[in-house]
Amino acid sequence: MRGRAVPRPPRPVPVVVELDGDRRVARQPRYGFALSCAAVYGIVLLDPALSRMLRGFLPSALAGAISVTVCAQVPTLPVQVMMNPQVPLLAVPANVVTAPVVGVTTIVGLAALLVSWAVPWLGHGLVLVASLGTAALERCATLLGSAPFGTLVWPDGAAGAVAMIVSELACMAVVVAIAGAIRAIGRPGPSDVGASPHESVGTPYRATPMSRWRAWWRETCAMLFDVQH
């Protein structure tokens, strides 16, 4: 039975180049570098499946915002608790609220970068427009970050990171079990599809490397620009 190709992430060439070019990144703790890598690969690996599942019962825009936030946080939380032993409980609603502003602000900021060298006054105007969006983001982060129920105290250091990984794996196991039970309930039996339990229902789909790259590109464009190529 043919299905949709599952996008696979490209080889971590930028990460390898960075580590090879600056060995201090590997020898010394660089939390910013680790958080960036973890967030990007979390989104690439987990977002397609989670967003498809959420779109089954949520609007597409809301499902996408929740999925990207969760997929970025899952691999970054073990690193984050080593920096600050707290778990942000309001990160998902904060990202859902600010998602429209983030997209517009990012595009306007990039446009300012592209035109400032040629038309300084236009670049300055675009920066002012983008600053309105960043001000809204800063205000939202301040309000939600200062809420008394906005964070959960967590053990720090390596023990906290290990505890976070174990907790995430346990939560993922529960989610997978629930999803499997839901699929099993909704799956038609052999009598419903006119086949015996021992009959083959199709040939498993094997995606080629090129089809995986194309699927990854479509998912990336859909995530960034909400369009399909």
Structure tokens at 48: 């397609």
Which residue's entry shows tokens 């070019």? 21
Distance of alpha carbon 91 from alpha carbon 218, whole angstroms: 26
pLDDT 10s digit of each residue in the chain, 229 long?
A: 444 444 555 556 566 665 556 666 555 567 777 888 888 888 888 888 888 888 777 777 778 888 888 888 888 988 888 888 888 888 888 888 887 788 889 899 999 999 988 889 999 999 999 999 899 888 888 887 777 777 888 888 888 889 989 998 898 888 788 877 776 775 555 554 454 555 555 566 655 555 666 677 778 777 776 644 4
Q: What is the pLDDT of residue 130?
A: 92
Q: Whole-model pTM? A: 0.61
Q: How far is CA 215 from the centre of its chain?
A: 16
Q: Give 66-129 as a 3 state SS string.
A: HHHHHHHHHHHHHHHHHHCCEEECCHHHHHHHHHHHHHHHHHHHHHHHHHCCCCHHHHHHHHHH
Q: What is the pLDDT of residue 28?
A: 58
